[in-house]
Amino acid sequence: MKVTVRQLLDASPTISVGILTADLLRLGSELAIIEQAGATVVHVDVMDAVFCPQLTVGPPIIKVIPDCFVKDCHLMIDDPLSKVEAYVAAGAGIITCHVESTRHPHRLLQALSDTGVVRGIALNPGTPLEMLAPLINDLELILLLAINPGWSGQTFLPGTERRIADARKLIGNRDIILGVDGGVTKSNIGDVASLGADLIVSGSAIYDGAATLDNARFMLKKVRQEHARVTS
Ligand code: DX5
Ligand code: ZN
């Protein structure tokens, strides 16, 4: 389903559940579990075996994800400008492209305006935040990768804490969502939330092949506690 920047900011911090380690042959029932836990945002890692070594899923899978979820599409693909339309048509609620993947990040944001999709730009851990400065008035979401893209289950890079603080400064009082993706586990979700992330991606810590429902409930409880703390 569609979502507005305002709705995401009002719900901050919230979880976007990464499905890369879910059982993709049983995706419907895997999604039903996180829905039961109260998750509303699903993070789809799209990799094209060019920008990223792996090849994952694309518009046909995004299309069949139930519309009760906000479909948060993280495009780790080359030349996204020529491909984003298919993701809009597949029902994306959020589309985030890497600044490293396109020569035309500004044109990309322009192409996504008036689509009703929340427009995001992602940064690899080695990319300076300054890349965002010329785009800041045209983007709606910044996604900081806390790992190098390509695989689930990596360790949260410690430099990310500083980058979250710097991104917060860059955002100032603008209505921009700050997302953090990679290496978020039960042990560090509380810290990541209190550092000021609005949208926290968590994949393998939820879809661990054993206790998805409990994991999702735990992670959601943690962000709700932080939401209660910042809004009280
Ligand atoms: C990595 C992806 C991440 C990743 C998250 O390229 O962008 O979304 O799958 O997985 P975990 O939560 O396991 O680090
Ligand atoms: Zn991702």
Q: pLDDT value at position 98? A: 98
Instruction: State the amino acid at position 119 in one-letter form.
Output: R
Identify whether the C-beta of residue 15 lies closer than 8 Å to the C-beta of residue 41.
yes
Q: How far is the CA of 18 from the centre of ligand 1 (A)?
A: 7
74, 123, 192, 201, best to mutate for ligand 1 pocket (most atoms within 8 Å of CB): 201
Q: pLDDT value at position 211? A: 98
pTM score, whole prediction = 0.98
**Which residues of the chain, if any, have pLDDT below 50?**
none
Q: pLDDT value at position 45? A: 98
Q: How far is the CA of 232 from the centre of ligand 1 (A)?
A: 31
Q: Which tens digits make up the pLDDT trace of 194-208?
A: 999 999 999 999 999
Q: pLDDT value at position 186? A: 98
Q: Which tens digits make up the pLDDT trace of 101-133?
A: 999 999 999 999 999 999 999 999 999 999 999
9: burial class by Cβ within 10 Å (0-12, 13-18, 19+)?
Answer: middle
**Which stretch of DSSP H or E encloses residue 32?**
helix 27-37
| Residue where the block lists tokens 């990310």 | 160
Catalytic residues: 45, 181
Question: What distance in Å separates the CA atoms of residue 216 and residue 200, rounded to the nearest whole number?
Answer: 13
Q: How far is the CA of 123 from the centre of ligand 2 (A)?
A: 11
Which atom of ligand 1 is the closest one to the Cα of 204?
Answer: 13
